[in-house]
Structure 1
Amino acid sequence: MTGLAVAWLLVSTPVAAQEAMPRVRASDADRIGAARDRVLPVVVSILTVREDHQQGEPVLSVSSGSGTVVTPQGHIATNAHVTQNGKSFRVVFADGRELPARLVGTDTLSDLAVLQALPPKPETFAHAQFADVLDLQPGDTVLAMGAPWGLSNSMSAGVVNNPRRLLVSLFDDEADYEDRLGVDEPTGRYYAWIQHDAAIAPGNSGGPLVDLSGRIVGVNTRGMIFGGDLAFAIPGPDARDVVRALVADGRIRRAQFGFRLRSLKGTGLDRGVLVNAVERGSVAEKAGLRAGDRILTLQGGEVDARQPVDVPALQRRIAELPAGEALRLGIDRDGRRSELRLLADAQAEDPGEERAFAPFGVSLKPLTPAMGRRRNLDGAEGLLVTGVRPGGPAAIARPGLAPGDVIRRAGGQPVRTLAELEAVAGAPSPSGGPLVVEFQREAEQRLAVLVPIHGDRLRTPLPELAKAWSGVEVQPVTASLARDLGLQATGYRIIRVYPGSPLAAAGARVGDLLTGINDTPLRAANETAADGYHQRVRDLPIGSEAVFQAVRDGKPRTFEVTLGESPVNTSGLRTLALAKLRAQLRELGFYDRAARRLPASRQGVVVDGVEPGGPAGLAHLQGGDIIISLAGEDVRDPPGLAAALDAALAKGNGSVIPLQVIRGGETRILYLERYWLTETP
């Protein structure tokens, strides 16, 4: 379950013991109840089916978060990390009603996103209001609402610790904090958090922080799982502005100049703000701005950032300049003052999400200029390889591709987007032959020959060479073990007899000690390996007559058998990676039936594995289940199950497709939801 990030732990030693103070004043009880009744009914739990990527393969999982209905049209404010990599969404209301939702827009730099509930027919939604002004003070009572650990309709109370907080301790370097924001923690670049101690946990992310007037004063975003009840929320007025822009336009437009700021803390200076870093090739660098310059004026007005908490407001002010408007900076460099003019540029378009490209067995992301500069690559066009599936087409290409490579051309055509690659290699070519792929690795331009694979991956192993089989499992009995067990002979003790097997038909039982075959003694080399017995049997012809010498209860016996053909091992059965279910399927084999005590006539398909967020996982299928019917139709093998699923989807009857499975000693009914089958990639 994703949700609140685990903030880093700040440890300090108290100089004196302090008496514990109550978090909430008793006099606030009535106002707490009124605020609860106003907001909690419009707080929703959010179920997100995520598509992440591991080694070039898409992996679906399910995560949960929280949100608040903030418009009559059903728009829901939440965190961007709640919707991150989301492929489909459902929201559960306080009354238990569940609706699908669509992603309206997301802004990773503020960690905010907007969903919209999709009712079957238009309706007007009850909703909550954001605070227009942040007037919180330390000690004010606040309420955190949401679904911690997926437990909906939850509320906790606490007090504001600090209404303007950056996660920079006395021991942190402010510049390092900025670097962290630039890589994987963008939240906080344009505002300071509200720090409070209302209890929150993973799953609260995106839920509201509410004051006693029933206003949304913050959006809970992160907390500390260890080290005390410290929680952090995006200020309500800032969240309101972002949410309104996302509802109106689906995105946030900001100017970018390619420089970052830091406060004057620790410098001995008392005016202005420092340039912390300048990006190579940026507008700022071209205008002559340097790291270490001190900015004294912005658009002709004085600026001041003496502490780190003062910096986000300035960075937000700069980013909100309209595209095309000049940024005028009055700077001081080594005591000399000058003015620079930087022409604002629109912030780069979202580079697009990471996606798997199954025909190559890779995951890819479109390259942006910034990504190219960080990797010292020539140009900014192509597809960045983010993962490679072991054994897949890209891995076994000549030469193989690797994460970090940039695909420039395929089949002689430039590929700058995933759509262009789909057009070139998304479907089988008439020849079915290899494809030449041009890619860049560091400063080298390379060529590779790659054979794409299309469709569900059905694996039919090479047929095994049949061998003779007696139909038992055995335990070696050496001379020393026989002596300790009080046995008068050595050989192989039967520990399992397969029903219907040659030795079963001859009357062999568990506990019988096999001492020879065709009057040739059986001698165990050690007490752990039974290979000696099985090899002796496999050396005999299939269908030949054999006499097994044995001892039962101290008395000699013989079993006359006609040796059978060895059953196919599990590794020799057909498997199918069925994309519609996001499940790995396998034929039901002899040893599966034996392990479950199923009759030889039982047909079905074994589930070898499921992705938790795929349709099979959401239907609660588990590895080891045996599917015996789908939509009332018996299934015999993986291709048959795939055909039955296609037929059931084509009929379009009902919202679910029933499955009958064998699990343990039970036959169970499970349901595939059509929604997940159609909405999940």
Structure 2
Amino acid sequence: MIQRIFLPGLAAGALLFAGCAAQNAAPAPGFQQIVSEAGGKVFPAVVYIQVVTGNLKSGRAQNDVVSGSGVLITPDGELLSNWHVVDKAQSIRCLLNDGRAFTAKVVGLDKDLDLSLLKLDLPEGTPPLPYAAIDYEDRLTEGDFVMAMGAPWGLNRSVSIGIVSCASRYLPEGTYSLWYQTDASISPGNSGGPLVNTDGKVVGINTLGMLMGGTVGFSIPAPTIRDALPRLREYGKVNWAWLGFQLQPLRDFNRDIYFDFPDGVIVSGTEPGSPARKAGFLPNDRIVAIDGKPVTVGTNEEMPGFRRMLGLLPFGKPVAFTVVREGETVVIDAAPVAKGEVEGEEVSCPRWGFTAKAINRFDTPNLHYYRNSGVYIYGVSDFGNAAQAELRPNDILVSIDGEPVNTPAELETLYRKAMERLDTNPKATFAVLRNGRMIQRVMDFSNDYEKE
């Protein structure tokens, strides 16, 4: 049963999703008042965000306008949203609940958490803004009522209500965090808006919604935000530490893998050149303690928390790992390094009809397998010169006219030289690596498809 509840003082309705067992039950006394008061504490702090982004995915540089949501968390204009809402933003405009509009700038971004911290550009003398309190305690349980606020489908000032379906949902996309799963409606445009409890506090940031025979939505939990927020303010990113472990929980139902150990986490492998490999970790090592503190990752649901703990270790400081190897206990010291950029630098080559990006072990692990550095074709224009030459996205650029391509800067130099000889020799030979096979393609770029 779907019952629409109109909250006093709120412009949009809230959807109450009742379970099968409660379909005929009357609402608890005072429930609507509880929801209304809780929503009223946060709703004035909800922000509609409109972003102009630079997009190279189509094979040429173009501007797109996207929208999302956010929530003010300080009276001087700090707000939380998603990374994917403001990624590659060229301009950001924010509409407050009271109708005022401000531009904003990015303070910090983290792709791994899909989290962003923004700051409104407020004129001097602006009175304190309404803001929402965050409940950083991990107290949500299945069945708790929550509200999802934001601007679904660009319809600002909207709120929906549901329950927490799962308080610790594991998704492979969540490297460092579990998710709150809710049946409160989270649609495109809700991204970045707050998930709110019945106390009127933010307990998560809405990130992902799917229609799977009903509404399934996911939010970043407040405890994860608590760990990330100070780093976003200080560094402009979380600045994750990296050791290069490939890890396996003790029990994995989906893979039908079960280790008969009471504690620890299994090392299934290490990345080439990583601190873990240099320190001597081997497949099937079982880490049972870090700096003397016992660790156990029994299931996939416990893995993001363990990775987050590793990711927040200080750079360059050796960490003592207690490891069980073939029945013997050994201690291995390894010093984490900065994870670095998780996405490669982008380049646009409009006359050639493609865009390119630097290979990155985190963003493109399938290409990093073939080359641990270099440049690959990111997007190809449908009717451009690259398409005519049968170049494809994910082709790794090895050389152009015999000149090696190892960095985006080298590609830009070769493109500039090609444009300088456009009138005399508008052809180029591309050597690319495609699915591990070396192939060559000759491009005639005498036609300017951008103008046609």
Q: 421, 424, 429: which one pairs with 2:420?
A: 429
What is the CA distance between 1:85 and its match in structure 2? 4.5
For the pair 1:76 / 2:79, whether they are aligned, the reply is yes
Task: Give the 5 Å matches for 1:104-253.
Answer: 104-119=107-122, 123=126, 124-167=128-171, 181=172, 185=173, 188-253=174-239
Query: 1:453–1:359: structure 2 CA closer, same or farther, 3 Å change rule?
Result: farther
1:121-520 alignment runs, 5 A limit: 123=126, 124-167=128-171, 181=172, 185=173, 188-265=174-251, 266-368=258-360, 371=364, 374-378=367-371, 380=373, 382-390=374-382, 392-395=384-387, 401-407=391-397, 416-426=406-416, 428-429=419-420, 432-434=423-425, 439-441=431-433, 442=436, 444=438, 451=445, 457-459=450-452
1:433 is matched by which residue type in structure 2?
Answer: T
Write the letter of the residue equivalent to 1:342: A
Partner of 2:143, secondary structure, is: coil
Distance in 1, Cα, partners of 2:359 & 2:144: 47
Going from structure 1 to structure 2, the CA distance change for 1:403 and 1:166 (only over 3 Å counts) comes to: closer
CA contact (8 A) 1:23 1:157 kept: no
Between 345-354 and 300-309, report the one with greater CA deviation.
345-354
Bigger RCO of structures 1 and 2 (CA < 8 A, at least 6 apart): 2
| Shift in Å, 1:189 | 2.0
Matched pairs, number: 421
Q: Do the aligned residues in 1 keep the contact of 2:197 with 2:203 (CA within 8 Å)?
A: yes
Contact persistence 2:430–2:443 (CA under 8 A): no
Counterpart Cα distance in 1 of 2:161 and 2:372? 53
Partner of 1:585: none
RMSD of equivalent CA atoms: 3.3
Structure 1 vs Structure 2: percent identity of aligned residues? Answer: 33
Match of residue 4 from structure 2: none
SS of equivalent to 1:158: strand
Q: What is the rounded CA distance, in whole Å, between the counterparts of 1:145 and 1:374 in structure 2?
A: 39
* Structure 2, unpaired ranges of 5+: 1-19, 252-257
Q: Which structure has the bigger radius of gyration?
A: 1
Contact 2:243–2:337 (8 Å) recurs in 1: yes
Return the offset for 1:70. Answer: 1.7
Residues 264 and 289 in structure 2, CA contact (< 8 A), matched pair in contact too: yes
Instruction: State the alpha-carbon separation in 2 of the partners of residues 436 and 214 from structure 1.
Output: 62
Give the whole-Å Cα distance in 1 for the aligned partners of 2:184 and 2:394.
Answer: 43
Q: Provide TM-score, normalisation by structure 1.
A: 0.55
Query: Cα gap change, 1:73/1:360 in structure 2, threshold over 3 Å: closer, same or farther?
Result: farther
Matched residue SS, 1:63:
strand
Q: Within 2, Cα distance between the matches of 1:409 and 1:118?
A: 45
Q: Name the counterpart of 1:471.
A: none
Which piece of structure 1 moves more, 301-310 or 260-269?
260-269
- Per-residue CA deviation, residues 425-453 of structure 1 (Å, 9 max, x unaligned), is 34842774337566442464969676477
Q: Is the 8 A contact 1:273 1:303 kept in 2?
A: yes
CA distance in 2, matches of 1:157, 1:151: 16
1:407 alignment partner AA: L
Separation in structure 1 between the aligned mates of residue 85 and residue 105 of structure 2, nearest angstrom: 13
8 Å Cα contact 2:289/2:323 also seen in 1: yes
Amino acid at match of 2:232: L
For structure 1, which segment, 23-32 or 252-261, has the greater mean C-alpha deviation from structure 2 after superposition?
23-32
Q: What is the identity, as a one-letter code, of the residue corresponding to 1:162?
A: C
Q: Which amino acid aligns with 1:200?
A: I
Asked if the contact 1:52/1:59 (under 8 Å) is kept, the reply is yes
Preserved contact between residue 372 and residue 378 of structure 1 (Cα < 8 Å): no
Structure 1 residue ranges without an equivalent (≥5): 1-16, 168-180, 460-681
8 Å contact 1:360–1:453 — kept in the other structure? no
| 1:389 maps to amino acid | S
CA distance in 2, matches of 1:224, 1:110: 18
